[in-house]
Structure 1
Amino acid sequence: MDKIKTSDYRVDQTIHLKDIATLNMLSSTEKKLKKRLRDTRDKLSKLQDVFYAHNKYSVLICFQGMDTAGKDSLIREVFQDFNSRGVVVHSFKTPTFKEKQHDYLWRHYVALPERGKFGVFNRTHYENVLVTRVHPEYIIGENIPGINSVEDIDEKFWESRFEQINNFEKHLVANGTIIFKFFLHLSKEEQKNRLLRRLIREDKNWKFSPGDLEERELWDKYQDYYEKAINNTSSKEAPWYIIPADNKKAARAIVADILYDELKVIEEVQYPTLDPSIKSQIEHYKQVLNQQ
């Protein structure tokens, strides 16, 4: 079975999405991919328990991708063996009225995982340099001083947002959050197939919205802005990983392997040692319990 090299997916230099493959089968059958994921998922769940007990680091896992890229099913499949007390999934939709009364990062900040826990963001703070860039009129709704019309939103505005996001993530890392950012890289042809499947299968109809087709017409813009966002915000502290997403099972296996390979090497994360005064009395406590 293919060995996944994290470095093959991590963004360490300027990338062009059109040059990056959207399909990787890992030279495996679907049956082998499912088994691979089960094995890694089991190891991840055990590792999660250690992080929870250690209670010093939190892990933030961010997923971005075009509609139908497979974010929901990937999250369901990769994290299903986690203890529910140690993982929280947030799916960010259109900002609410209350959220708009704060800066654009606020709703993400308050959803960050506590120490010892894993937080999964299904769509992330990057929507604020993606969707809002394709639809700059959304920025007006943020009621930002000095931004009164779309004409006020220039290239310096987006550069400033990239800097703010980088500073936000740098602050999190410095205070014990380990960040993974995954872009599920889907081809336009595969998106068409998945949208057609939503229309053909009655059990998938509910997922379809005419708005999906309107956004699909803006495909090239989205690809351009994803590329700009990734190139401006992939750092050593909070790297982006570009995951070929045309095959869902392979994408899930790759994400799970990257998470496990990167987290298992943090030697500091161990189960806490028992207080010596308690440890020295273990046999006594056993006797007490056996007599009760």
Structure 2
Amino acid sequence: MNVNDYKIEGKKEIKLKDYPTSEDHGFSQEELLNHHIPESVSKLKDLHWRLHADEKKGIVVVLQAMDAAGKDEAISYIFSNLNAQGLKTTSFQKPSDTERNHDYLWRIREGLPERGQVGILNRSHYEDVIAPRVHDLLEEGTIPDDKDEHEVWEMRYRQINDFERYLVENGFEVVKFFFNMSKGEQKNRLLERMKNPKKNWEFSFSDVEEREHWDSYQHIFEDMLNNTSTEYAPWHILPADDEWYSRYIITKTMIECLEKIDPQFPEISEENRKKLNEYIEKLENE
């Protein structure tokens, strides 16, 4: 697998319809479940331990999608395997009154990782160029005096790009995944949640209500991807109808990111090495 096949190169204009929601990748589900994903997760765990021990860099992971596309499951099956001390997961819902009284990027700060951590944003700052646009929710105070409503989105795209560049330049890589799911597959997954009593808790009536705006979401997603996939923080488009293969892509992409960072376990100083040997001898002779 070449993860670059799923990455939007900067300045490349894309059409979502050109990106399949599933593909003939040549792996059986058994191969993915029993071999490829466990091996990749094991490698990812080792690299994550090094990142946590090194404490020089961090990674911000953005997960963005329609409902039932597989964001929560990716966190459960991949990221939950990592060292909890070096992992931070934040889910963003509708802004609270307090959050609305600040600039729209203010609440994202709470979800950012420390050095040595991977911070997962389950939904993210991109919600503020998606939902308000679909539902015409821009409040009067959020539109600058010298802009009209249509210019706000271009302004926010620029601000988000600047924000992500700031993070990268300060030692925090930004890795972004868009779960490209078909409308038919979402229907099947929502029905499963509705009909299976053990999955009812995963279902929200708003999921079906938002589905009525499917075409608007697809148009806005496409605009978002084209305006915010940059060389320093590119988007990866996942064929999300195939959940296990999408998780494999995420794992391989995270490995590639960590290998680029190349974190190392800190080496003990010569002075402390001598002291360490003394303490080893002391304990062994008890």
Matches within 5 A, 1:54-203: 54-137=54-137, 139-140=138-139, 143-144=141-142, 146=144, 153-203=148-198
| Unmatched tracts of structure 2, length 5 or more | none
The corresponding residue for 2:274 is: 280
The residue aligned with 1:5 is 2
- Give the C-alpha shift of residue 145 in structure 1: 5.9
1:14 pairs with 2:45: no
TM-score by length of 1: 0.92
Partner letter of residue 48 of structure 2? Q
Aligned-pair identity (%) = 39
Letter aligned with residue 268 of structure 2: L
Whether 1:234 and 2:232 are equivalent positions in the alignment is no
- Amino acid in structure 2 at the alignment position of 1:39: E
Q: 2:161 is matched by which residue type in structure 1?
A: N
- Secondary structure at the aligned position of 1:191 is classed as helix
Change (3 A) 1:24 1:161: same
**Equivalent residue for 2:211?**
216
In 2, Cα distance between equivalents of 1:108 and 1:212: 23
Q: Which residue of 1 aligns with 2:257?
A: 262
1: distance between equivalents of 2:279 and 2:163?
48
State the secondary structure of the residue aligned to 1:80.
helix
Aligned residues: 282
Deviates more, 1:208-217 or 1:230-239: 208-217
Q: Does the 8 Å contact 2:143/2:152 carry over to 1?
A: no
SS at match of 1:116: coil
TM-score after normalising by structure 2: 0.94
- How far 1:155 moved relative to its partner? 2.2
1:146 Cα offset (Å): 4.6
Cα pair distance change 1:270/1:198, threshold 3 Å: same
Provide the C-alpha distance between the structure 1 equivalents of 2:5 and 2:195, rounded to a whole number of angstroms.
36
Shift of the 264–176 alpha-carbon distance from structure 1 to 2, 3 Å rule, reads: same
- Relative to structure 1, the CA distance from residue 208 to residue 284 in structure 2 (aligned partners, 3 Å threshold; closer, same or farther) is closer
Give the drift of 1:274: 0.8
Relative distance call for 1:153 and 1:198 in structure 2 (3 A) is farther
Find the aligned partners of 2:253 and 2:25 in 1 and give their Cα distance.
Answer: 14
Contact 2:54 2:116 in 1 (8 A): yes
1:206 aligns with 2:201: yes
| Structure 1 unaligned regions, length at least 5 | none
Q: 2: distance between equivalents of 1:186 and 1:145?
A: 32
Deviations 1:190-237 (A, max 9, x none): 011111112221112233333222211111110110111111011111
Q: 1:24–1:250: 8 Å Cα contact kept in structure 2? A: no
Displacement of 1:135: 1.3
Q: Give the aligned residue type for 1:144.
A: T
**Separation in structure 1 between the aligned mates of residue 201 and residue 278 of structure 2, nearest angstrom:** 60
1:25·1:250 contact (CA, 8 Å) conserved in 2? no
Change (3 A) 1:153 1:191: farther
The amino acid across from 2:7 in the alignment is R
- Detail structure 1 runs of 4+ shifted over 3 Å in the superposition: none
Q: What is the letter of the counterpart of residue 4 of structure 2? A: S
Cα distance in 2 for partners of 1:153, 1:213 equals: 31
Secondary structure of the 2:80 match is coil
2:213 maps to amino acid: L
Distance 1:153 1:219 in 2: 25
Letter in 1 for 2:224: A
